[in-house]
Structure 1
Amino acid sequence: MLRLIVLLLLLANALFYAWSQGYLLAWGTGPTQQSEPQRLAQQVRPQSVQVLPAEELRRLESQFAQDPRPPECLASPMLAEAEVGSLRTVLDSFPPGTWSLEQAVEPARWLVYMGPYPGVEQVARKRAELRQLGVSFEALPNPALEPGLSLGSHATEAAANQQLAALAERGVRTARVALERPEQRGQRLLLPAVDDTLRPRLEELRGVLSTKPLRPCR
């Protein structure tokens, strides 16, 4: 009996091996063939793929890191006249044509404003009332208007009045439109093509532009 069981196991293993290798496909049985000829047809020059040694890979990475970065345009925010004077002293040593100072205008901005209040307790009470009405508020961008609340900042007085009317319909009664900031005029620094030669010299400008860093041109 034991010999029969062993023979049956050997026969089963032999049949499974023949099936898995596809030897029984002629009799209509065998594993599903996994083949994706379309992927092979889409390969582009597979013979050109090569595995690089670690040393060669480091050499190529170093080469790419040393490749020059493309020039970029940088500009400062608007500068006051006193800042421009200090800036010119530094810029006089820069190569000619690498910088310019151009006129800049920042338009006035308007707030939907609540305040000023006698103290922080009144501000906290007003915040609670606004939360109950579902009205959002934010910190004041102009410290001269403290203590108070901003319900929105706008580029035009008309837009601020439009928001004020909408808030009145929601139950906000004591807000008003206030001037957040009058129109400001000044100059801004423009560096139209900062390349790898000029980039190290930007450090010389940071002392003068400490609170007004250079940003990509818009």
Structure 2
Amino acid sequence: MLRLAVIALLLANAGYYAYTQGWLRSAGLAQPEQAEPLRVQQQIRPETLKVLRTQGTTAAPTPPAPPATAADAGASATAAAAPAADAGECLQAGVFDEKQAAALRTAAASLPQGSWTLEPTPITGRWMIYMGRFDDQDTLDKKRAELRARKVDFDRAGGMLELGLSLGRFSTEEAAQRGLTALNAQGVRTARVILERQAAPGFMLKLPAVTDAQRQQWLATLRPAMAGKTLGSCG
């Protein structure tokens, strides 16, 4: 029974293959042709077909910019050439003691509010290795010659310490004493350490934004109270 089923299946496959290959056309058993002329004949009223274009939304074209005029070009050139506003320069001077700071406050009172400050800046003490005070200029000159021979640096003591010589200035007494010990080793015997300046409150004058137009007028106002000090750039 199984053999008959296999034989029937093989015959069916062979018959279908012959049918698709057109071998049974003479017996009136042929697969319909799908050639192009046949497809055209099968069309129904093809003349009524129309191709429609989809109407999409498009952005409106951007109108071209109007040509630049001579006036526009001149205005642009003027804007480019215009200088930046003068923001002013920060200037400062000091250090001033309390008495000098009081004089500065009085002088600066006529300047615009907020245009100046006196910032606290402590004045540190200073010690000097001092030699003197000498009786006359001849004695001073002889001592200078001795120091040069020993290759010891010196300068004028200045102020109330004339006629005298400074062999060094120091921010602490301990540093000054060490310097004196080194000079003693070089043969210097008559020098001593003195307090040249005591520590005291101090102040720094600051003008945060001085324009070129203000500079001369403000300097003329402040100069008499600046104790010989000059203004320089902040930094």
- Report the TM-score when normalising by structure 1: 0.61
Q: Which of 184, 208, 217 is the matching residue for 1:201?
A: 217
1:132 equivalent to 2:149? Answer yes
1:103 equivalent to 2:120? Answer yes
Asked whether the equivalents of residues 74 and 191 of structure 1 are also in contact (C-alpha less than 8 Å), the reply is yes
In the aligned structure 2, how far is the partner of 1:196 from the partner of 1:85? 27
In the aligned structure 1, how far is the partner of 2:154 from the partner of 2:133? 15
Structure 1 residues 69 and 159 mapped into 2: Cα distance closer, same or farther (>3 Å)?
farther
Structure 1 residues 148 and 91 mapped into 2: Cα distance closer, same or farther (>3 Å)?
closer
Q: Following superposition of structure 1 onto structure 2, how do residues 38-117 of structure 1 map, counting pairs within 5 Å?
A: 71-117=88-134
Structure 1 residues 83 and 113 mapped into 2: Cα distance closer, same or farther (>3 Å)?
closer
Asked whether the equivalents of residues 97 and 200 of structure 2 are also in contact (C-alpha less than 8 Å), the reply is no
- Cα offset for 1:151? 0.8
How many residue pairs match? The answer is 154
Larger CA deviation: 132-141 vs 87-96: 87-96
The residue aligned with 1:183 is 199
Which secondary structure does the structure 2 equivalent of 1:105 belong to?
coil
In the aligned structure 2, how far is the partner of 1:111 from the partner of 1:158? 11
Deviations 1:73-107 (A, max 9, x none): 21221334444444334433322222112223211
Matched AA of 2:112: P
- Cα offset for 1:136? 1.6
In the aligned structure 1, how far is the partner of 2:189 from the partner of 2:99? 43
- Cα offset for 1:186? 3.6
Larger CA deviation: 105-114 vs 76-85: 76-85
In the aligned structure 1, how far is the partner of 2:102 from the partner of 2:197? 24
- Cα offset for 1:197? 4.8
In the aligned structure 2, how far is the partner of 1:83 from the partner of 1:173? 39
Structure 1 residues 86 and 145 mapped into 2: Cα distance closer, same or farther (>3 Å)?
closer
Q: Which of 108, 132, 135 is the matching residue for 1:118?
A: 135
In the aligned structure 2, how far is the partner of 1:81 from the partner of 1:106? 10
Asked whether the equivalents of residues 103 and 185 of structure 1 are also in contact (C-alpha less than 8 Å), the reply is yes
Q: Structure 2: which 5+ runs fail to align?
A: 1-80
The residue aligned with 2:233 is 216
RMSD over aligned CA atoms reads 2.5
Larger CA deviation: 198-207 vs 177-186: 198-207
In the aligned structure 2, how far is the partner of 1:91 from the partner of 1:149? 38
In the aligned structure 1, how far is the partner of 2:104 from the partner of 2:201? 17
- Report the TM-score when normalising by structure 2: 0.57
Q: Which has the larger radius of gyration?
A: 2
The residue aligned with 2:46 is none
- Cα offset for 1:210? 5.6
The residue aligned with 1:170 is 186
Q: Structure 1: which 5+ runs fail to align?
A: 1-62
Q: Which of 145, 169, 188 is the matching residue for 1:153?
A: 169
In the aligned structure 1, how far is the partner of 2:157 from the partner of 2:227? 23
The residue aligned with 1:41 is none
